[in-house]
Structure 1
Amino acid sequence: MVWQPHITVATVIEDDGRFLFVEELKAGRMVLNQPAGHLEADETLREAALRETLEETGWEVELNGLLGIYLYTAPSNGVTYQRVCFSARPVRHDPDRKLDTDINGITWLTRDELATQPERWRSELVLRCVDDYLAGISGPLALVRD
């Protein structure tokens, strides 16, 4: 078997102290995650982040920083994911937009509200990315080369 990490993108979107999360059904339970998904063929990382955010939340956003690059191996299946996480600000919401089929809904939570619900995190990266954002960790988008 050839080991190959899965490349994913995620977006931390903050508005007045609250963060945008998706509620999705995974392995029979409802979990919280940042808008996130897999990089598709012939797509840049930035394009993937914007697309996934719109498809999963109905929000158009403006990317404003590179939050980090994370490696995560899922204990449930042993798959390793490379997550490229961006920070963004909300621009416009289309409440009538049909969301991806695996998305149950969206919610805005503070960091503390999120922290009290670890059983609902899709992975520990959900809180870690918010904490990194709040710690001021950010690189310029120019670091991401297409």
Structure 2
Amino acid sequence: MTTEILTNGTSDETIWRPHVTVATIVPRQGRFLLVEENIRGDRLFNQPAGHLEAGESLAEAAVRETLEETGWEVTLDCLVGVHQWVNRQSDRHFVRFTFAATPCMHHASRPLDVGIERIHWLGRQEIAALGDRLRSPLILSSIDAWLGGQRLPLTAVQSAAGPT
């Protein structure tokens, strides 16, 4: 068990907390925007994705991560789903909010996040063929959910300010 000191000075005995992440499915002309990442020397493929940061909504995080990792400004269209996944290699637990978005403008000269080697537009079969080079199984399952018509309104995820 670990003890975390909270901002109000009390302690909170914690055993486990999942990583809250966002990902964005960005379709264009039958292809999907992916990033090729260098993860500890391995080249892996992922959707634009990352961790929720303090003070931002889930939707803001998805838009920010997409821009930082790909140089693409996007407009969110819907929530595709909320997925829970355990990376068995690292024993890290994730709760991921996957959005779908429309690409609006590409900033080709914008530097990409550290570790991002390049961006790709790939079809579903090309993505499936990457196999173990996909960073998680959520990439293909969320694309398949989107292709199958799974769409939730953005209002399904709401952000409320806490007490002031």
Q: State the partner residue of 2:56.
A: 43
Compute the displacement of 1:28 (Å): 2.2
Tell me, in whole angstroms, the C-alpha distance in 1 between the residues paired with 2:40 and 2:108: 27
Within a 5 Å distance, the mapping from 1:1-12 to structure 2 comes to 1=1, 2-12=15-25
- Higher RCO, 1 or 2 (CA under 8 Å, sep at least 6)? 1
Length-normalised TM-score, structure 1: 0.98
Q: State the partner residue of 1:79.
A: 92
Tell me, in whole angstroms, the C-alpha distance in 1 between the residues paired with 2:124 and 2:142: 10
Q: Verify: 1:142 aligned to 2:140, yes or no.
A: no
Compute the displacement of 1:76 (Å): 1.2
For residues 109-142 of structure 1, the C-alpha deviation after alignment (integer angstroms, 9 at most, x for no partner) is 0001111111210011111111111001010001
Q: State the partner residue of 2:146.
A: 133
Within a 5 Å distance, the mapping from 1:1-146 to structure 2 comes to 1=1, 2-146=15-159
RMSD of aligned Cα (Å): 0.7
Length-normalised TM-score, structure 2: 0.87
Q: What secondary structure sits across from 2:43 in the alignment?
A: strand
Tell me, in whole angstroms, the C-alpha distance in 2 between the residues paired with 1:120 and 1:19: 16
Higher Cα Rg, which structure: 2
Equivalent AA in structure 2 for residue 102 of structure 1: G
Q: What secondary structure sits across from 2:111 in the alignment?
A: coil
Kindly tell me the number of residue pairs found equivalent between the two proteins: 146
Compute the displacement of 1:108 (Å): 0.3
Q: Give the percent of matched residue pairs that are identical in Structure 1 and Structure 2.
A: 48
Please, which runs of 5 or more residues in structure 1 have no aligned partner? none
